[in-house]
Amino acid sequence: MPKNLQATTTLHNGVKMPWLGLGVFLVEDGQEVIDSVKAAIKNGYKSIDTAAIYKNEEGVGQGIRESGIAREDLFVTSKLWNGDQGYESTLAACETSLKKLGLDYLDLYLIHWPVPSQGKYKDTWRALEELYKDGKVKAIGVSNFKEHHLEELIKDAEVVPMVNQVEFHPNLSQKELHEYCKKKGIQLEAWSPLKQGQLLDDPTLIKIAEKHGKTTAQVIIRWDLQSEVVTIPKSTKAHRIIANADVFDFELTAEDMDAINALNKDERIGPDPDEFKKV
């Protein structure tokens, strides 16, 4: 079990990825994202998850620089947006993200969605493999890929994705996908781990939280970790950024884990990846 905020999982290429990071979706570019990133890093976070579509990479970069942390101590993820899929456009989009962030490499670069209607993600993957070989990105992966998308990608791939970042919370525990990813050596990562705040009043979670003297958010984040899923809760409030990482001093029992697993309803708050066609 991860012992602290610096604890990492080792991806199949040997790269170490923190189990817990900060998400910055819907965090405004400029002061809001700068302050969130600085609050996280100041309080021990080593991992930041952004994306080209969040339109806050410049602020993320500024927050990183102002925090004074050494680049090698930080793990930065960005994602390729759907409209940039394709070989050449992916190479260009990665360059743009790096420039906005003010970094010369990313720790992890993900294909944001499989975009089934375009069917381009294999060309996109070749570009990610190229970026990986060139050292522009230390690890490559996907997001919102179901098993059939991964099967299709892996068929012709030289490099198996290191990470699959998907919607994951107690109402969507992705059991089969998680098993499949484990078999392939792909680390599962949770987006919207707190179901964007919609699970915090759940009576089962409240009961478990009270027993441990923790909040429901902390119980969910701990459940991610004990499920061996990397997690990136988002907050712009320093006190919540700190609280969301205060999850290393208690342990959910097997009974707690079972009770949380039983909350699964296969219920998404985001789009079904087979239907998402936005570019």
Ligand X SMILES: O=C1CO[C@H](CO)[C@@H](O)[C@@H]1O
Residue 236's binding partner, choosing from ligand X, ligand NDP, none, with beta-carbon cut-off 5 to 8 A by kind? ligand NDP
Sheet holding 163-167, edge to edge: 22-23, 47-49, 75-80, 108-111, 140-143, 163-167, 187-191, 230-231
Query: Which residues bind to ligand X, rule: CB under 6 A?
Result: 25, 51, 53, 270
Taking residue 135's Cβ as centre, other Cβ atoms within 10 Å add up to: 9
Q: Which two tokens stand for residue 151?
A: 């099967």
3-class state of residue 219 by DSSP:
helix
Residue 192's binding partner, choosing from ligand NDP, ligand X, none, with beta-carbon cut-off 5 to 8 A by kind? ligand NDP
User: Is position 54 annotated as part of the catalytic site?
Assistant: yes
Question: Which range of residues in 8-16, 19-27, 68-76, 253-261 is near ligand NDP by CB under 6 A?
Answer: 19-27
* Shortest Å, Cβ 40 to ligand NDP: 12
Question: Which range of residues in 5-13, 89-97, 120-128, 240-248 is near ligand NDP by CB under 6 A?
Answer: 240-248
> Does residue 194 belong to the site contacting ligand NDP (CB under 6 A)?
yes
Position 179: which residue type?
A: E
Using CA atoms, how far residue 215 sits from 138, 207, 222, 245, 251, in Å, is 35, 10, 11, 12, 13
Q: What distance in Å separates the CA atoms of residue 48 and residue 101, rounded to the nearest whole number?
A: 12
> Does residue 143 belong to the site contacting ligand NDP (CB under 6 A)?
yes
Q: What distance in Å separates the CA atoms of residue 98 and residue 104, rounded to the nearest whole number?
A: 6
> Does residue 234 belong to the site contacting ligand NDP (CB under 6 A)?
yes
Residue 224's binding partner, choosing from ligand NDP, ligand X, none, with beta-carbon cut-off 5 to 8 A by kind? none
Q: Cβ closer to ligand X: 80 or 137?
A: 80
* Shortest Å, Cβ 171 to ligand NDP: 11
Q: Is 69 exposed, middle or buried (0-12, 13-18, 19+ CB in 10 A)?
A: middle
Size of the site for ligand NDP (CB under 6 A): 27
Residue 53's binding partner, choosing from ligand X, ligand NDP, none, with beta-carbon cut-off 5 to 8 A by kind? ligand X
CA 62 to chain centre: 20
**Residues belonging to the active site:** 54
Instruction: By CB under 6 A, name the binding residues for ligand NDP.
Output: 23-25, 49, 112, 143-144, 165, 191-197, 200, 217, 232-237, 240, 243-244, 270
